[in-house]
Structure 1
Amino acid sequence: MMNATQKQQLIVFGEDWGAHPSSTQHLIRHLGDDYEVIWVNSIGLRRPRLTRHDLLRLCRKLMTRVGASAQRTSQQGAQDAAPCRLINPLVIPLFGSRWVRQLNAALLKRQLTPYIRKDSALILWSSLPSMADLVGRLGERGVVYYCGDDFRSLAGVDHGPIAAMESELAGKADKIFVASETLGNRFAAAKTEWLPHGVDYRLFSSPQPRPEDLPAEGPVAGFYGSVSEWFDVELMSHCARALPHWTFVVIGAVQTDVGPLRRLDNVRLLGPRPHHELPAYAQHWRASLLPFRRNGQIMACNPLKLREYMAAGASIVSTRFPAVESYSDLLRIADSAADFVDALKQIEACPFHASANRLRKAAAQESWSQRAQTVKHCLKQFAHSAAQLDAKCEQPNKAAHSSLI
């Protein structure tokens, strides 16, 4: 039985800590005071290729492999310091082979077992479908699957094997949290709960100075995040041409062809910025943008930046997808490029503070701290069930001991 002074252990399988501010990392920051968290960096979701990106990532993995058990800071430094033990696992990144998957499960068990207390009432939390084969091997008392993305539509993922592993993991999980209601439709309703993304409200609502590289003249419309195939380059270029007195700022790593944007004088591609610097931009541009294409991934997504935009206070314009429908009274939803342009014109004609207070008030009710309370309630139920099981196991032992006296 777990000592009353010890924390229950929680092993979390997620992306590389500090690589980007994921919903899982936000939640775990709020669980660290109540649980002994062991964070296992990503074992990947796709077959690696001989590209510069994949080779650099492999080198980083190998370099951090030594001494990983003691590591508590990310590659980005103290700002993203991990409130938990970090493990950089050694596995084979091939998911199409059942044999390799079983080997990976055995490798992971061997690497994680030294950190697991026998009395820990261990809970496994996986934000990745690829952990399906490890379930049941570590003596865990509960399994949580946190589905924050549509992995079956995610670009660059081996969709067939990942879909099979997700179905297997969902079947084994005791509890499933989903970031969007669309994602929840594929899992058993009895154990699935919608857990919308939250926001670091204090970070995004606290006043920040205007960044020096943000244009000071004329209205500015901005976007931050990954500039990938779901980012509607054609829509953005149409808006920039239709509104030449506006400046369109794009912050983030570019992973798709943005040639049409580079050719426009009123578009600024600033590249990535650390997460803690984003509020300064979002607070000082006139409109925050969600210019997404309609594809499977976007139809199932619940973008982190939506509530961050709300907390920052600038008016929001979005293309239409399910996650924004419930906020239609707070933002402008466009069904066409012309609608998008009209929405920006309307924003320009309104005082900034007309919508800022309403947006911030709504965002204040959706903090990560509040989301974490929902998770804590679930995990406490696991702990209660484990304690009951321990008590039942002890009763026969006590009876046997009494019969020998």
Structure 2
Amino acid sequence: MISGHNIICFSSDWCQDPLSKHHIISRLSQNNRILWINSIGLRTPTVTVKDASRVLAKLKSFFRGAQKINKHLFVISPVAIPFHGVSFFKPFNQLLLWIQLFYYTHKFKMTDCIIWSFLPNTGNLLGFFRKKLSLYYITDDFTKFDGYPSETIEKRENELIDRCDCIIASSKELARKKQRNGKSVSVVNHGVNHAHFASALDIPADRLPFDIKDIARPILGFYGELNTWIDLPMIAEAAKKRLQWSFVLIGRVAVEAGDIGFLQKIPNIHLLGQKKYEELPGYCAAFDAALIPMKINDLTICVNPLKLREYLAAGVPVISASLPEVKPYADVVKFANTADELITAFEEIQKEERFKDKATLSRRVENEGWDGKVEEISEIIQQAIVKKNV
């Protein structure tokens, strides 16, 4: 693993549920000094309670100053005028960001840094830093998110790719789509906190979380953000056709998802709300099958779903949409893109012996831990630094 570096990381908010970026950066912070810069956003806020709450949270974080996560990792929340894609505000936001970055980089003596971005709109900031290396780590195709100014993001992302020394993607399709001007894009698949999720194997029925332990079995479960890329109508249709099955959905409802009242009217669909990362193994222990019910579109074909390996580590059979990055796991996954396919998939899981041994399912991903992924990333970074200095 790389060590002794100063790393400035542009990313989504640290306070979100742990994603690949959290797992990677938290491990790198053991031996490197890291300043994590929360996103200023990629879209203009809507006039909703949820977006207003998000703006207020940003302001509170800004006035709170740098948040210490551990000895070597600090998080800051810069503020900007929230009209992304409006050219009039661009120079004001750039100046505002520069002032804030100047203050914090000098406060933490972040010189000769690795500039690491998980966001597509940071290319204009690279010139601000004396840097050892610039890295763009791509986990999603941001140009395909609903409600985002896709043309603006594509332009900014292309600028970032052209200026970066090193590019890493979390899926083969992302790597293919983001190649520009002959620049190579390395692929590093997501890892899993195996020990955390494998703890589900040791949770007895009487220690399941209070809000799931009395739900009728079998349980088909999902956790994650309920957003536009989740096929909620498919789940609703399957639930209506199999009223004796319970469908448990765990996670916050995104603003973009709109009204999900139609789910609440179906008696065997249970919306349990957002849960802490630490609680997820307990819920997985109650699942008879776990769902990755994504719509197939230009956004999701690039996805490498983090929860695939988490579900499996917990020993839960998986029913997934036919995503390219899931297909290598066909030995432990059933595929379904429609309600009828989902029903058939679970009926087959109930019958087939290979899905009954939870410990075997868990071992399928025990060698895909985050420590190994960080070693892969470190090797790519070291090679890129050497190449740049030749």
Unaligned runs of 5+ in 1: 1-5, 74-80, 390-405
In the alignment, does 2:77 pair up with 1:88?
A: yes
Letter in 1 for 2:186: E
1:302-321 matches, within 5 Å, as 302-321=304-323
Which residue number in structure 2 is paired with residue 261 of structure 1? 263
Root-mean-square deviation (CA, aligned residues, Å) is 2.3
For residues 292-350 of structure 1, the C-alpha deviation after alignment (integer angstroms, 9 at most, x for no partner) is 11222111111111111111111111121212111112200124322210111122234
Which structure has the larger Rg over C-alpha atoms? 1
- Counterpart-to-counterpart distance in 2, 1:67 and 1:173: 32
| Partner secondary structure for residue 143 of structure 1 | strand
Judge which range, 254-263 or 268-277, deviates more. Answer: 254-263
C-alpha distance in structure 2 between counterparts of 1:334 and 1:221, whole Å: 13
Q: Which residue of 2 aligns with 1:111?
A: 100
In the TM superposition, residue 52 of structure 1 has moved relative to its aligned partner by 1.8
1:131 & 1:85 partners in 2: Cα distance? 19
1:247 aligns with 2:246: yes
Q: How do 1:279-294 and structure 2 match up within 5 A?
A: 279-294=281-296
Which among 50, 55, 75 is matched to residue 53 of structure 1? 50
CA distance in 2, matches of 1:352, 1:219: 18
The equivalent residue for 2:225 is: 226
Deviations 1:256-295 (A, max 9, x none): 3333322222111111111111111112210001111122
How far does the alpha carbon of each residue in 1:202-256 deviate from its partner, in whole angstroms, 9 at most, with x for none? 1101134321211444211100111112221221122212222211111011233
Question: What is the deviation of 1:135?
Answer: 1.1
Deviation at 1:20, TM superposition (A): 2.2
Equivalents in 1 of 2:354, 2:68: separation in Å? 41
**Shift of residue 67, structure 1, vs aligned partner:** 4.0
CA contact (8 A) 1:219 1:247 kept: yes
Contact kept in structure 1, 2:295 and 2:337, CA below 8 Å: no
Alignment TM-score, normalising by the size of structure 1 = 0.86
Which secondary structure state, in structure 1, belongs to the residue aligned with residue 192 of structure 2? coil
- Give secondary structure in 2 for the equivalent of 1:314: coil
Question: Is it true that 1:40 corresponds to 2:60 in the alignment?
Answer: no
Name the residue aligned to 1:214: 212
Give the unaligned 5+ runs of structure 2: none
- Verify the 8 A CA contact 1:219 1:348 in the aligned structure 2: no
Deviation at 1:361, TM superposition (A): 1.5
Structure 1 residue 142, shift from structure 2 partner: 0.8
Residues in 2 aligned to 1:53 and 1:355: alpha-carbon distance in whole angstroms:
42
Could you tell me whether the CA contact under 8 Å between 1:204 and 1:311 is conserved in 2?
Answer: yes
Helix, strand or coil at the partner of 1:346: helix
Amino acid at match of 2:230: F
In structure 2, give the amino acid aligned to 1:254: V
Counterpart among 284, 300, 303 of residue 301 in structure 1: 303
Deviations 1:136-176 (A, max 9, x none): 22111211001111101112211111111011101111111
What is the aligned residue count? Answer: 375
Q: Does 1:193 align with 2:186?
A: yes
1:243–1:267 CA distance, 2 compared to 1 (3 A) = same
Amino acid at match of 2:319: V
Q: 1:337 to 1:348 in 2, by over 3 A?
A: same
Which residue is equivalent to 2:348? 346
- 1:394 is matched with none
Q: Quick check: 1:205 aligned with 2:198?
A: yes
Following the alignment from structure 1 to structure 2, what is the Cα–Cα distance between the partners of residues 317 and 330?
9
Q: Secondary structure at the match of 2:329?
A: coil
Contact 1:143-1:173 within 8 A present in 2 as well: yes
Which residue in 2 is equivalent to 1:78?
Answer: none
TM-score, normalised on structure 2? Answer: 0.89
Match of 1:169 in 2: 160
2:136 to 132, 145, 151: 145
Q: Does 2:25 correspond to 1:28?
A: yes
